Chain A
Amino acid sequence: MDPTNTMPLPNDIPLPMPLDQVLGEALLVLSFLAHILFINLMIGGSVLTLACEIAGRKRPDLDKLAHEITKTVTVNKSIGVVLGVGPLLTINVLYTTYFYSANALTGKVWIMIVPLVSIAFLLTYAHKYTWEKLAPFKGLHIALGAMGTLLFLLVPFIFLTNVNLMLFPDKWLEVKGFLSALVLPNVLPRYAHFVLACVAVTGLFLAIYFTRAGYPVEQVFPTLTRAGLRRGFYGVTFGTTLMQFVVGPLVLFTLPPRGTTWHMVGIFVIGAGLAITATVLLWHEVVASDQRIGWRFAPIVALLTCTVLCMGYGRHLYREGAISEHRELVQQKTVEYARLAAAAQRRAELGIDLAPAVGSLGQRVFQSVCAACHQEESVLVGPSLAEIREIYAGNPDGIVEWTRAPGRKRPEYPQMPAFRLPQARLEAVADYILNPSSDEPTTVPSTQPATQPATTQP
């Protein structure tokens, strides 16, 4: 037990895991990285589109470049969203307690992901498809794009807040709504790290995308050269990656200590080391001659891919480190709870078997189904038994028919619902109503199951 009692200890879902834990974790890390790659390209692309379109007010070719970049955004966004299903599913199943608890605690803003991202996507489409039409109103057109970019830059806060909060069950007792969870360490440094990564990855992508063999650079951009484009985008990646060397350590040092292990730090350091090498190569690219620029692309991508794998794995180690103790306690509690529930189930079955049925069938059915609305003397919800006896004297079939398909004779009473019980039971109830005997007590049924007949469904 947690000696300070500062952490909630819920039960887990008592069903077996559908996949091996290690397989699940590998699936989570890899599918998440695939998803985040395309999200990087979506957000980075949106930012670079905006930057180029603003700069394009002076240089038309940059405006053209912006238009071309946004065409990649609309494709990458769809791939990014659909790839998100895999990690969402896997994190739901591996970390059910943690993920869903964090979601509930930030639920109002969490669910805003749906309208906010929908609107961001629609704005991006509108921005793309009105490029020529709104050319005379460039300011308005840029504003349209900027709104989409702004939404893309806001939504990551929602995700980062959740995946951070999920790791700290003690914080679940302290947060009240999204904003209090947003300011928990270390969401804000992670956000900076993420946005810089978006732009860096996109720069690298566009460096090759626009200068690949099949792309007609000269036709599309009269004043831009292949080398110039490469240099420009490499420069974007180089600059943002340099900034990562400040933000990255900031993220590491602001991590709440619970999940930190030397193993994890080592993985991050290796990743950073690979990134340093990649950055050196990037610098060589940026200052390379027009003829030579681009040949280091493959090693740069390879190195940064390894960096990303290290970061993804290291992050996973942190997650496991942060929650594994708590999860152990949750598992123990879940097993214990299941044992208690099973024992209570056995006691209840025994109770029903041993307890004699009190009263006739008709009386028992009446008490469990009809007594909520019909009493002996006065009106409770519907007419009293005394009245019913008068109306249906000598006509038990009438009661049965009415119960199956009640009409509406008294507008001042609520509508009686239909009760499609078996014929035998309805006849027993009719008989009970029409032929009361004085030795049958009418008791208020308790909620305990022991002496109830097993009538959960008619």
Chain B
Amino acid sequence: MDFPIFHLDFFGNRTLIGVIAIVHVYINHALAVGAAPLILAMEWWGWRRKDPEWDRLAYRVLFVCFIVTTTVGALTGVGIWLSASLVNPAAIGSLIRVFFWAWFFEWGVFVTEIILILAYFLTWKRWTGWRKPLHIALGAALSIMSWLTMAVIVAILGFMMDSGVWPETRNFFHGVFNPIYLPQLLFRTPYAMMSAGLLTLLLTYFLTKRRSELRARAIRFVSLWTLAWTPVCAIGAAWYWRVIPDHMLANIPVSLATQALEGWYLTLAWIIAGSGAVILLVMFWGAAAPRRMPRAALLVPYALSICQLGYFERVREFIRKPVVIEDYMYSNGIRVADLPLLKEQGLLAHATYVPVRAITDQNRLVAGREVFKISCTRCHTSGGINAVTDKLRGLYGPSPWDHDVLISYLATMHNTRPYMPPFPGNDEEAGALADYLMSLSEFPMPLEGAQTGGVQIPARRAEKGAEMISGAGP
């Protein structure tokens, strides 16, 4: 409503955030939060055993993590920020008003973490002999800092799903210690540890020689590591499951399987559970008989785990819909508190970057398009991924659709599809939107975002009209 509308009409805006964010989560769980303590454990073990070959292996694992985290890891982290601000500036703008100091603190933790990982990496080969324990202490400090970066951001993620009592008290600490926070942290921490184990298992494929003693010992070490964290992860997962709000649990079938395959979601859930079982089996194998492990077994667990993690993030983000901040803002950036005004006076009266304020017979399609842009494009495209025309075709068959049926669907879609927000406009705008949707299905027309098409504001006389409307009321 208040920002130029960035829009990707083929890939969809969710795809932009999703790809960047999921890559970042892959890196920060397995190569940072999980890797630091695992490498520390390896280094300590190599020092206790006076084993320079093992120490060199730990260093090479660190090298891989260091290169990836300080390049793609760092930039995708910034990228989440940049892309979320592009796609939903109202949501991010609101979150930083509430959580500025949390993010500021997170910044301090990040700076410390970077300095520590630079130091840990650059002094590994120089701090030998009597300085080795110092180096190990450095690794311990790094592990704590890495974990702390996760601990801060998870508070904000939890807040978005269930803001607890914050809407009433507006207290910072009530926002941080929301009901989702600790359960999610108790799930993600061991999950990160386990992912690091699975990644390191994969790295042994490249960093150790086939059938070598070193490889066998490395496999056993990371298998035991992963198994040790598994019960904690299970407890965390169970607690997390219990605190997810009920109406969000109801969205899980669609988030797992999409609308078309919703009926299959139980099968999918079993497949996911099965993949977890496969990983555990490989871990037991690795702990008990590492020498007899085929090379494929080194690669499969990590591949499965990244499928699981990517899926989990998709589900977590989807089930929160129709809100982006529970009780405060819908996923399309419209505030819950603004809805009565917009349904009364229309959103065209109050949006900034629209070419028209009032709907006439000449501008119905333009008006409908603008209503679509504001209300729907954070999640939908006109003809690309998650296209709104595909959704309507799925319901009502091929066009032409009945105009009245569309309008009545717009009025009730937040009830029939609980992950949909309520339509944030008045009746006239619903009509114009229905016209636009019908024309889209006959004459597909890609929708340009502000990043290529620029923005417009209404002409002066239209502004005066809008003033008269908005001043009305008892």
Contact = CB atoms under 8 A, between A and B. Distances in A.
B466 to A, nearest CB: 11
B174 to A, nearest CB: 15
A245 B241 CA distance: 63
A448 interface: yes
A369 B412 contact: yes
Contacts of B1: 10-11
B70 interface: yes
A121 B72 CA distance: 8
Nearest to B69: A78
Nearest to A342: B337
Contact of B395 (A104, A125, A414, A446): A414
B417 interface: yes
A82 B352 contact: no
Given A81-B75, A447-B423, A415 B415 contact: no
Interface string B178-219: 000000000000000000000000000000000000000000
A16 interface: yes
Contacts of A455: 415
B85 A100 contact: yes
Given A88-B78, A446-B411, A344 B344 contact: yes
B6 A85 contact: no
Contacts, number: 274
A9 B470 CA distance: 15
B131 interface: no
Interface string A107-150: 11011011101100110010000000000000000000000000
A263 interface: no
Interface stretch (B42-50, B269-277, B359-367, B447-455): B447-455
B107 A381 contact: no
Given A79-B115, A344-B345, A104 B450 contact: yes
B337 A345 contact: yes
Interface size, A (range): 35 or more
Contacts of B344: 344, 347-348, 448
A420 interface: yes
B404 interface: yes
A257 interface: no
Contacts of A101: 3-4
Given A103-B85, A347-B344, A456 B262 contact: no
Contact of A449 (B343, B404, B450): B343
A107 B426 contact: no
Nearest to A83: B111
Nearest to B426: A447
Contact of A417 (B114, B254, B453, B473): B254
A347 B473 contact: yes
A16 to B, nearest CB: 7
Interface in A364-404: 367-373, 380-381
Interface string B369-388: 00000000000000000000
Interface stretch (B95-103, B151-159, B310-318): B95-103
Nearest to B100: A18
B90 A172 contact: no
A415 to B, nearest CB: 5
Contacts of B81: 88
Contact of A373 (B97, B416, B423, B473): B416
Contacts of B72: 118, 122
Interface stretch (B33-41, B232-240, B286-294, B456-464): B456-464
Given A5-B457, A457-B418, A113 B341 contact: no
Given A118-B72, A444-B408, A173 B457 contact: yes
A83 B74 CA distance: 11
Nearest to B106: A85
Interface in B422-474: 422-423, 425-427, 430, 449-457, 459-460, 463, 470, 473-474
Interface string A412-449: 00110110100000000000000000000000111111
Given A381-B395, A415-B263, A445-B411, A103 B86 contact: yes
A327 B97 CA distance: 17
Contacts of B114: 78-79, 82
Given A118-B71, A415-B260, A447-B426, A344 B341 contact: yes
A172 B455 contact: yes
Contacts of A406: 263
A173 B75 contact: no
A172 to B, nearest CB: 6
Interface of A: 5, 8-19, 75, 77-79, 81-86, 88-89, 92-93, 96-97, 100-101, 103-108, 110-111, 113-115, 117-118, 121-122, 125, 172-178, 337, 340-345, 347-348, 367-373, 380-381, 406-408, 414-415, 417-418, 420, 444-449, 455-458
Interface of B: 1-6, 16, 20, 67, 70-72, 74-76, 78-79, 81-83, 85-86, 89-90, 92-94, 96-101, 103-104, 106-107, 110-111, 114-115, 118, 122, 246-247, 250, 253-254, 259-263, 335, 337-341, 343-345, 350, 352-353, 394-396, 404-405, 407-418, 422-423, 425-427, 430, 449-457, 459-460, 463, 470, 473-474
19 contacts: A5-B459, A10-B353, A79-B118, A88-B81, A93-B100, A97-B2, A105-B455, A107-B6, A110-B86, A114-B76, A125-B71, A344-B344, A347-B473, A369-B415, A414-B259, A415-B259, A417-B259, A420-B246, A447-B426
The 4 closest A-B pairs by CB, nearest first: A107-B451, A344-B341, A18-B100, A10-B2
